[in-house]
């Protein structure tokens, strides 16, 4: 019996091992794809082009794609079209009555909305692929004919984006954690060694002083510490369970709490905000450069990192998506009804409508401070990079995504192991009770 129990435990943890191996294999496929170039491009000339204009929007796009843009690989536009399409569909499902009705139909409605998201991804990926092809062709780094290059580029980039979307869904279903977030995190992590190497090179060449390099490293470590500290902070709302009659026994009331995180929206707001800004600014940069349109180039310049318009727009969209996403995932009325049905109440607050209003007030306050915190974390490196004239991209968004997704991944592994240990203990106690009979 003991051998059977240990075999069951090993099988459970074997399932976790298989999920982790699948995740590792999927990320390995992503990194291999990031090195497969689109045909018809002179790689050496493209590398020189990126070297001369690798900051700002191009640097951020390259970071999110894991260096794919620098090599103009099949994953050059990354997963951003899918994120943009998800934003549009989620916004539409709150405003369009027909889509709102679909959202309430449960799993069937969710499948239809997912289909619309995929159609939107194809459309946005096609537009971005044309823009990328026009930009690269204008730079004189293409070695094939125009028609052949445009056709192959659009097909390769759209296919690469759809493959990443499918890969993210497979990671979510068969691996651990959110697949899309982990793909973005893997791209950011893959660009870190080259960023550190570039910092060391610039320091050795005298472009950056040793004091500034040390300040950048210390500032990044301090920001990581602050993010970890705030992400683990909780607002505990006390909950009291009333006395209950269970058979012939009177169960005493219990006191517990509901934990609310300061940042309830996670990394979704900065990702959504970056996607919203990157899409028009990238198209403006590419088409402006392709057509030599001064108006388009000026508009693209306003949306570059460190510009007042970019900072204001970025902060506003982060705060908006903090409130929007929190409203999507949290319903105070539903939580108040669940507490009332289970015989629980918040001390000093009447069950029902008053509890709903109280929880909504708590969440709105937390969301306000959480939105301010995310905006500060994402914008401080942007402002300092511009003020200190650091000649490469250094973004708070990437740091926030890297830390928060890592914390969430660790939490999901711990909860997965705990749930399976609990199931193992329950089966063990059931087997003991059967053996006594």
Domain assignment of residue 110, yes or no: yes
Residue at a domain's end among 150, 167, 196: 196
Please give the pLDDT value at position 167: 93
Give 344's strand partners. Answer: 241
Residue at a domain's end among 196, 227, 261: 196
Domain assignment of residue 9, yes or no: no
Domain assignment of residue 356, yes or no: yes
Same domain, yes or no: 141 and 222: no
Please give the pLDDT value at position 385: 67
Please give the pLDDT value at position 170: 92
> What is the 3-state secondary structure of the chain?
CHHHHHHHHHHHHHHHHHHHHHHHHHHHHHHHHCCCECCCECHHHHHHHHHHCCCHHHHHHHHHCCCHHHHCECCCCCCHHHHHHHHHHHHHHHHCHHHHHHHCCCHHHHHHHHHHHHHHHHHHHHHHHHHHHHHHHHCCCECCCHHHHHHHHHHHHHHHHHHHHHHHHHHHHHCCCCHHHHHHHHHHHHHHHHHHHHHHHHHHHCCCCHHHHHHHHHHHHHHHHHHHHHHCCEEEEEEEECCEEECCEEECCCEEEEEEECCCCCCHHHHHHHHHHHHHHHHHHHHHHHHCCHHHHHHHHHCCCCCHHHHHHHHHHHHHHHHHHHHHHCCHHHHHHHHHHCCEECCCCCCCHHHHHHHHHHHHHHHHHHHHHHHHHHHHHHHHHHHHCCCCCCCHHHHHHHHHHHHHHHHHHHHHHHHHHHHHHHHHHHHHHHHHC
Same domain, yes or no: 178 and 217: no
Same domain, yes or no: 340 and 220: yes
CATH (domain of 35): 1.10.3370.10
Bridge pairing between strands 249-251 and 244-246: antiparallel
Please give the pLDDT value at position 8: 47
Same domain, yes or no: 182 and 321: no
The model's confidence at residue 5, banded by pLDDT at 50, 70 and 90, is very low
Instruction: Kindly report the pTM of this predicted structure.
Output: 0.76
Same domain, yes or no: 156 and 221: no
Give 239's strand partners. Answer: 256
Phi–psi pair at 53, nearest 5 degrees: -140, 45
**Model confidence pLDDT, tens digit, residues 171-202:** 988 888 888 888 888 888 887 777 777 778 87
The model's confidence at residue 7, banded by pLDDT at 50, 70 and 90, is very low
**Model confidence pLDDT, tens digit, residues 326-354:** 887 788 888 888 888 877 888 888 888 88
Please give the pLDDT value at position 126: 92
Please give the pLDDT value at position 9: 47
Residue with tokens 């869904």: 169
Please give the pLDDT value at position 53: 55
Please give the pLDDT value at position 122: 93
Residue at a domain's end among 147, 169, 196: 196
Same domain, yes or no: 219 and 293: yes
Please give the pLDDT value at position 1: 40
Per-residue pLDDT for 49 more than 80? no
Per-residue pLDDT for 269 more than 90? no
Same domain, yes or no: 183 and 224: no
Residue with tokens 């982990």: 182
Total domain count, the chain? 2
**Model confidence pLDDT, tens digit, residues 270-296:** 878 877 777 676 666 655 555 555 666
Summarize the confidence of residues 362-386 as an average pLDDT.
84
Same domain, yes or no: 290 and 375: yes
**Model confidence pLDDT, tens digit, residues 15-36:** 788 889 999 999 999 989 888 8
Same domain, yes or no: 146 and 258: no
Per-residue pLDDT for 215 more than 50? yes
Same domain, yes or no: 228 and 174: no
Domain assignment of residue 2, yes or no: no
Please give the pLDDT value at position 123: 93
Same domain, yes or no: 149 and 231: no
**Model confidence pLDDT, tens digit, residues 96-155:** 888 888 877 878 888 888 899 999 999 999 988 888 888 788 777 788 888 888 899 999
Please give the pLDDT value at position 10: 45
Lowest-pLDDT range of 294-303, 327-336, 402-411: 294-303
Domain assignment of residue 331, yes or no: yes
Share of the chain above pLDDT 90, in %: 11
Phi–psi pair at 256, nearest 5 degrees: -145, -165
Same domain, yes or no: 351 and 228: yes
Domain assignment of residue 114, yes or no: yes
Closest CA to 117 of 96, 76, 87, 158: 87
Domain assignment of residue 10, yes or no: no
Domain assignment of residue 19, yes or no: no
Per-residue pLDDT for 392 more than 80? no
Please give the pLDDT value at position 41: 83
What's the domain range around 417? 210-437
């Amino acid at each position: 019996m003991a051998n059977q129990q240990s075999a069951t435990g090993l099988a459970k943890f074997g399932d976790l091992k298989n999920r982790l191996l699948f995740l590792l294999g999927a990320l390995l496929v992503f990194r291999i794809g990031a090195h497969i170039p689109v045909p018809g491009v002179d790689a050496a000339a493209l590398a020189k082009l990126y070297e001369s204009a690798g900051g700002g929007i191009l640097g951020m796009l390259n970071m999110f794609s894991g260096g794919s843009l620098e090599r103009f690989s099949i994953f050059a536009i990354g997963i951003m079209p899918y994120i943009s399409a998800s934003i549009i569909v989620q916004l539409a499902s709150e405003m369009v009555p027909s889509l709102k009705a679909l959202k309430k139909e449960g799993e069937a409605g969710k499948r239809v909305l997912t289909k619309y998201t995929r159609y939107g991804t194809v459309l946005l990926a096609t537009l971005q692929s044309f823009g990328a092809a026009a930009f690269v062709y204008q730079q004189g780094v293409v070695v094939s004919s125009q028609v052949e290059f445009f056709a192959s580029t659009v097909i390769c980039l759209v296919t690469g984006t759809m493959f990443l979307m499918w890969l993210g869904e497979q990671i979510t279903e068969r691996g651990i954690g959110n697949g899309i977030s982990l793909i973005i995190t893997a791209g950011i992590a893959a660009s870190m060694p080259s960023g550190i190497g570039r910092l060391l090179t610039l320091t050795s060449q005298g472009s950056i002083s040793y004091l500034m390099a040390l300040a950048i490293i210390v500032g990044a470590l301090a920001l990581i510490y602050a993010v970890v500290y705030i992400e683990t902070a909780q607002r505990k709302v006390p909950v009291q369970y009333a006395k209950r009659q269970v058979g012939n026994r009177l169960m005493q009331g219990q006191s517990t709490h509901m934990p609310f995180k300061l940042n309830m929206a996670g990394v979704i707001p900065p990702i959504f905000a970056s996607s919203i800004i990157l899409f028009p600014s990238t198209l403006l940069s590419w088409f402006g450069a392709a057509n030599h349109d001064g108006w388009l180039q000026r508009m693209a310049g306003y949306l570059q990192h460190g510009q007042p318009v970019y900072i204001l727009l970025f902060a506003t969209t982060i705060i908006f998506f903090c409130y929007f996403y929190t409203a999507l995932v949290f319903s105070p009325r539903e939580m108040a009804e669940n507490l009332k049905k289970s015989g629980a109440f918040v001390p000093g607050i009447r069950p029902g409508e008053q509890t709903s209003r109280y929880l909504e007030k708590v969440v709105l306050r937390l969301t306000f401070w959480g939105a301010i915190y995310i905006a500060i974390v994402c914008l401080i490196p942007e402002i300092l990079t511009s003020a200190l004239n650091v000649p490469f991209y250094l973004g708070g968004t990437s740091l926030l995504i890297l830390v928060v997704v890592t914390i969430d991944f660790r939490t999901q592994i711990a909860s997965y192991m705990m749930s399976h240990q609990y199931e193992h203990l329950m089966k063990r106690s059931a087997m003991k009770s059967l053996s006594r009979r």
